[in-house]
Structure 1
Amino acid sequence: MRTRLFLALVIGCSASAAVFAQAPGHTLTINVSNVRAAKGRIHVDICTQDKFLKDDCQWAGEAPARLGTTQVVIRDLPPGQYAAQAFHDENSNAKVDRALFGIPKEGVGFSNDARISFGPPSWKSAVFGHNGQNATIAFKLRYFLGRSGPPATK
């Protein structure tokens, strides 16, 4: 009798663990505004401090660019301190195109709307805390060449 009870308990716990492991994780929704054209994709990286401003952040997402605001969703982001870095890949070549002196030709943006002046922002200005639950952050893209944002509506 004890053996059956023990087996039932072990099987029940294993099944619960399997269901828990397969349960969908929480999401971080990023609302990227000031998108100037419904062309290409909006790419967002979520970076730890050691990966910030690099190309190999562990979490990334993208969505087709929508004029005005584009929403990008990152799934299963564990609790921690992160910074988001985004760009408008207008020509869908999976990189930020640059002009003379490294000035981005495509829109770029960072969490907390961290300032971009004579170079990228600091980690301190872009960092945000994530508690592992569903959350939403928002920031805008900045374009340094060409028109500066969505066209005015009449």
Structure 2
Amino acid sequence: MRDTNAWSIRRPALRVGGIAATLLAAMPALCGPLSVSVTHARSDAGSIRCGLFDRSDTWRQEDRAMRAVAAPIHNATAHCDFGEVPEGDYAVAVFHAEHGETQIEYGFLGKPKQGVGFSNNPSIAFGAPDFEAARIRIGREPVNLEITLKY
């Protein structure tokens, strides 16, 4: 003989569990604001272009940044505000667009013609860093980075 009383107790519990799972899936990922101060611009001409990258396979491809921000320069410093960023791993690349460039220009031996910088301020003596060297973690808390331009 089937215990109908036990079934009637489990059915609402299954419904509540299903509703809770649906609500959790619909909630947005945790977000934290990301702000970047870019320092040591050699002049206040032009702007600083900042790119936020969420994948290593698109890293440093300006047209494939997850978000891009251009900021004016005042007293050799610019501030790029990316707003709320979903929790995860990212990297930031910046360059000084003194003449309104939208992409980095390269000179002899692939050296950038503009000032460049990356999250974590890794060395660029032997070329641009990989995604891992510039990787930062975004959670709920605000993240304020300082990136130093190198020419």
Structures share a fold, TM > 0.5? yes
Asked if 1:54 is matched to 2:61, the reply is yes
CA root-mean-square deviation: 1.9
| Per-residue deviation, residues 62-100 of structure 1 (Å, max 9, x unmatched) | 111223321110023111101100000000021212212
1:45/1:61 contact within 8 Å kept: yes
| Per-residue deviation, residues 91-118 of structure 1 (Å, max 9, x unmatched) | 0021212212221111000000011122
Q: Residue 139 of structure 1: which of 126, 135, 147 is its match?
A: 147
Q: Residue 28 of structure 1: which of 28, 34, 50 is its match?
A: 34
Mark the runs of 5 or more structure 1 residues left unpaired by the alignment.
1-19, 144-154
Offset of residue 26 of structure 1: 4.7
Aligned residue number for residue 68 of structure 1? 76
Offset of residue 119 of structure 1: 1.4
How far apart are the structure 1 equivalents of 2:78 and 2:35? Answer: 10
How far apart are the structure 1 equivalents of 2:74 and 2:140? Answer: 27
1:65/1:88 contact within 8 Å kept: no
How far apart are the structure 2 equivalents of 1:125 and 1:93? Answer: 26
CA pair 128-26 structure 1, distance change in 2 beyond 3 A = closer
For the pair shown, the structure with the greater C-alpha radius of gyration is: 2
Mark the runs of 5 or more structure 2 residues left unpaired by the alignment.
1-26
Residue identity in the other structure for 1:30: V
Q: Give 1:2-151 correspondences, 5 Å limit.
A: 26-48=32-54, 49-55=56-62, 56-143=64-151
Residue identity in the other structure for 1:51: T
How far apart are the structure 2 equivalents of 1:93 and 1:31? Answer: 20
Q: How many residues align?
A: 121
